[in-house]
Structure 1
Amino acid sequence: MDIATFPLGALQTNCYVLSNGREAVVVDPGGDPAPLLQHLEAEGLSLTAILNTHLHFDHTAGNKALAEATGAPILANDADGYLLDTWLGRGGEMGLPPLDLYEWTNLEPGETTFAGAPCTVFHTPGHSPGSLTFYFPDAGAAFVGDLIFYRSIGRTDFPGGDIEALKRSVREHVFTLPPETRLLSGHGPETTVADERNHNPFLGGF
């Protein structure tokens, strides 16, 4: 399996294209999807789903354009649906224009398949109520959104944030993954389960 990273949008949110054979999924298209479309075309990939770890605007700004260009469904968790009625989900703050509304389908946690590869979807609230983590064992990687970063964790001071829920999500669904699992976050460099278990100053003692 191949994973390509594209920092997109005003906040340079990490967007990922995970491909398996000729099928691909995109995780968190946070800006103009033109680079994603160029990559898909150059590699001869068919996009089968657009996965949102959560519905903050800097992770979803490219949702509508990418879905319209490819026909791929947008998947997210219902618990974040209320965000689309707020600036956190719609944008319109920090000098940025509001996003066009997009249609999306609820995705519940559990075992599923994306791009022909097994995936475990974890409900990992804390940064937002509906935050999801996508673990692809064949790729040895988990897409964690803004739950956990290299040596840091996601903000919990936004409406819907909960520091204790975030720590519980990490403890139960991230730190239980194989130690060598790559953690692909919404911002900054990638890290691993073992690295964060041993060195993350916000999550000591896990």
Structure 2
Amino acid sequence: MSAIQTFPLGPLQTNCYLLANQGQALVVDPGGAPDPVLRFASSNNLQIREILNTHLHFDHLYGNQALHLATKAPIRVPEKDVPLLASGLGSGNYMGLPKVDSYEYETISAGDTEFIGLQCRVLHTPGHSPGSLSYYFPDLNAVFVGDVLFAGSIGRTDFFGGDMETLLNAVRSQLFTLPQETIVYPGHGPATTVREEQLTNPYFED
């Protein structure tokens, strides 16, 4: 079993990730009904201990409450994105899509920490949203970036709190300084690497 599993969930097929280590697991961005995640955890004897959100846009939040109720795992959200929860961007009811079930959360900020026995460097990568966080796990050679960086593209910056220059600077200073072989796991679409995006992403040609 790979330490990282991907589950596209919800109306926008948001990438939900499960990370496993020594019988424990954490979930990043449960963007829809978490049944496939729960089935996988059960069949592999994994206890889900943490739920992490990269940012507080509705399509990354739809499964938060259901996953918490099923596992009792705390939901950790970016502190600087909390104001978004008062808007349609965070609560749903946006673009004709469903409302997000309300959930209790704890806030998290940039810094070094540990989840399920794995070291994690939490990086502040704003630009798509004001408080967007990326979660870098050096032992897994992986960073989970939400909608800041995609394979060959970047996240939208036209939502409330978004800013193109802020996003580009965050990617350059926080993500492109990671080891080049680091695998980048985005909120939508395929995984890529730091090196691949440095060399080929058209937004960083300069």
- Name the TM tier (shorter chain): over 0.9
Query: Is 2:186 the counterpart of 1:185?
Result: yes
Q: Distance in 2 between matches of 1:157 and 1:94?
A: 15
Partner AA of 2:170 in structure 1: S
Aligned positions of 1:162-181 closer than 5 A: 162-181=163-182
Tell me how large the CA RMSD over aligned residues is: 0.8
Q: Distance in 1 between matches of 2:74 and 2:112?
A: 18
| Cα distance, 1:99 vs structure 2 | 1.3
Query: Is 2:37 the counterpart of 1:50?
Result: no
Partner AA of 2:179 in structure 1: P
| Cα distance, 1:21 vs structure 2 | 1.2
User: Equivalent pairs: percent with the same residue?
Assistant: 55
Q: What's the TM-score, normalizing by structure 1?
A: 0.98
Query: Is 2:107 the counterpart of 1:78?
Result: no
Partner AA of 1:92 in structure 2: N
1:77-107 Cα distance to aligned partner (Å, 9 max, x none): 1211111111111111233221121111010
- The aligned length equals 205
Partner AA of 1:10 in structure 2: P
Q: Distance in 2 between matches of 1:67 and 1:123?
A: 24
Q: Distance in 1 between matches of 2:160 and 2:16?
A: 24
Q: Distance in 2 between matches of 1:27 and 1:76?
A: 10
Q: Distance in 1 between matches of 2:3 and 2:101?
A: 31
- Residue 204 (structure 1) aligns with: 205
- Residue 125 (structure 1) aligns with: 126
Alignment gaps of 5+ in structure 2: none
Aligned positions of 1:1-206 closer than 5 A: 2-205=3-206
Partner AA of 2:30 in structure 1: P
Partner AA of 1:176 in structure 2: T
Partner AA of 2:12 in structure 1: L
Q: Distance in 1 between matches of 2:172 and 2:158?
A: 20
Q: 4+ residue runs of structure 1 moved beyond 2 angstroms?
A: none
| Cα distance, 1:48 vs structure 2 | 1.1
Which secondary structure state, in structure 1, belongs to the residue aligned with residue 204 of structure 2?
coil
Q: Distance in 1 between matches of 2:69 and 2:127?
A: 31
| Cα distance, 1:113 vs structure 2 | 0.6
Which secondary structure state, in structure 2, belongs to the residue aligned with residue 101 of structure 1?
coil
Q: What's the TM-score, normalizing by structure 2?
A: 0.98
Q: Distance in 1 between matches of 2:127 and 2:62?
A: 21
